Amino acid sequence: MGQTVETPRNDWEHPMLTLHAPAKVNLVLEVLRAHEGFHEISSILQTVDLFDTLTFEPANNIEFTCSEPALLENNLVLQAAHLLQRASGTQWGAHIHLQKRIPWAAGLGGGSSDAAATLRGLNELWQLRLSTEQLVETARSLGSDVPALVLGGTVHMRGSGDIVAAAPPLRTAQFVILIPDVVPPEAKTATLYRSLRPSMFTTGRYTDEALRSLQNYGIVPQNLMYNVFEQVEATCFPGIDCARRELANVVDTAVHLAGSGPALFTIVETPSKAERAASLLSTAGYRAFAAQSIGRE
C-alpha cells in the first residue's frame, strides 16, 4: 500500500467485532480471451444474504479458529490477516474465529468473502483507517473474487477479476441456491478454464447489456444471465444435470451455474417462493438455501 500506518492506540474502540461475510453468485461470467495461461474475464457479481460470520478480538499475535477444522490449514483468513499486518506496519494481532455456513468449494465465494471480511474487520479493529480503495488494492494478491467482495453488492469485474467497480445495483431479488451432490475435480477452477475452447469465448456483450439493464431497470433479464462454465459443467461435474433438472422442476424458472460451480441458482418472484423451493429441495435430500440480494454496506 506504499505507506506505514501508525500503531493504534491501546484504548481499543472495539474490544470485539463481528462481521458477516456474504456468499456471491455471478449473474454474468464471460471469458473474453486467453493468453499464456491468463484468462481475461468480464463478470457481474452479486452478494446475497447467505453468510459466514467472523469475530475479531485484540491479541498479541494473529490466532485463528474455525467451526470446520478441515478449513484451518492455509485458510485465506490467515493469509489476509498476515498480509494486512505486513502492509500496514501494525504490531497488533487478533484472535479471529470463523463460523462457516456458506458451502465451500461450491462457486459461492465463501473463502474469498471470508478474506474480504478479514481485511475490513481488521482495518476497523486495528483502527488503520484505510480506504476501501486501499483494501481493494491489498485484496488483489489474495484471489480473483476478493477485491469484488471487499466492495460487495453488485460489482463489475474485469481482467482476472482484479479490476473491480461498483455496478448499478440489482433491485432486490430472491434466490434459490442448490448444492449438487457431485465431486468437483481437483484444482477445480484451473480444470474448468483448461476445459474451455476458444469458440466458447465471448466479446463481453452479455456483461455490457446486463449493465445497461441494471442502470435502466435494476434487473438482469434471464436471457442475459450467462456463465461460460455451463458449457463444460457436465464434463467437470458428472451428475450435475440431475440436480439442475430437480431445481428447474421445483421452481419452473431458468437455472444457472454459480461462478465456477457446482452450486446452482435461480431467481424467483417472492421470498415465500424461495423458502418453499428450498424446503422442497431439502426434503429431497439436497443442501438448498433461500437467499436475498444485498447491497454494499
Give the catalytic positions in this structure.
24, 145
Closest CA to 259 of 291, 233, 281, 278: 233
* Surface-to-core class of residue 196, CB atoms within 10 Å of its CB (0-12 exposed, 13-18 middle, 19+ buried): middle
Q: Residues 165, 159: contact at Cβ < 8 Å?
A: no
Residues 6+ apart with CB under 8 A from 89: 4, 5, 7
**CA–CA gap between residue 8 and residue 269 (Å, rounded):** 47
**CA–CA gap between residue 149 and residue 154 (Å, rounded):** 10
C-alpha atoms less than 13 angstroms from C-alpha of 287 in its C-beta half-sphere: 13
Q: Where are the beta strands (DSSP E) in 2-160?
A: 17-35, 38-59, 62-66, 93-99, 154-159
**CA–CA gap between residue 167 and residue 176 (Å, rounded):** 22
Length of the chain in terms of residues written: 297
Q: Residues 28, 229: contact at Cβ < 8 Å?
A: no
Q: Residues 95, 76: contact at Cβ < 8 Å?
A: no
